[in-house]
Amino acid sequence: ADGSVEIPVIVNVIYKSSAENVSDARIAEQIAVLNADYSGTNSDASKIPSEFLPVSSGDTKVKFRLVNTVRKSTTKTSWSTNDDMKKASKGGIDATNPSNYLNIWVVGKMTSQGRTILGYATFPESAGLWNDGVVIGAPYFGKTGASSPFNLGRTATHEVGHYLNLRHIWGDANCGNDLVSDTPTQTTANYGKPTYPLYNTCSGVQRSVMFMNYMDYVDDGAMFMFSAGQKTRMQSVVASTGLRSGL
């Protein structure tokens, strides 16, 4: 493939309460959010600041198609990032053919170092392994019934970005490197709903921060773009020469 791809998706739902057993409608809603965000047809793309329009991705040429939903009930109330939800032997659900499908696991609650997390993902280096895919907490999956301010389905948009080789926009360090040249260097993560423009200085250079990028940590309603450089990085991964060519 040239980098344009329709990724087949398996959604694995592991639930204790009925609220955690997200409905088929909510799963469809989440897939629709991924398709809108990755094609640049999200309604809030109109909010992209004009200074960033020249470097916005537009259509990343990555699409998503739900192929199956697997459900399992559990007595577990909390999960960690140790991948137990991906093991049937630990009360989870084994991945379906991870070389060829994006597996998404939805669990009720997840913590890391004592704090609730919204989701986590494997990078392309894990392609095809038993633990390859994306995990999302049920309150942050889909839109209807999800938990504000993370109720627009963007946790999946963010985590799938990691799955397709994107780093956090601040490079996980003070003025770190996200390996994408058109995303301005950023001191740190942003949270909440920052007001545009927001400036920061790295190595003596003041820049306007692209906090509305899906790979920052802002609220779902405050993130609405990928950059062209991020698109290139994702396309390389799904291309015939890329680590995820099996999708």
Positions that interact with ligand ARG (CB under 6 A)? 117-120, 150, 154-155, 158, 217-220, 223
Selected catalytic residue, list 20, 29, 51, 159: 159
In the complex with Ca ion, the residue whose CB is nearer, 61 or 233, is 233
159 is catalytic: yes
Residue 183 interacting with Ca ion (CB under 5 A): yes
Residue 12 interacting with Ca ion (CB under 5 A): no
CB of 139 to ligand ARG, least distance (A): 11
Please select the residue that binds Ca ion; options are 29, 83, 178, 220, rule is CB under 5 A: 178
Contacts of 61 (CB under 8 A, 6+ apart): 3, 4, 5, 231, 235
Residue 165 interacting with Ca ion (CB under 5 A): no
Number of shown-chain residues binding Ca ion (CB under 5 A): 3
Residue 55 interacting with Ca ion (CB under 5 A): no
Q: From 69-77, 109-117, 183-191, 206-214, give the range in contact with Ca ion by CB under 5 A.
A: 183-191
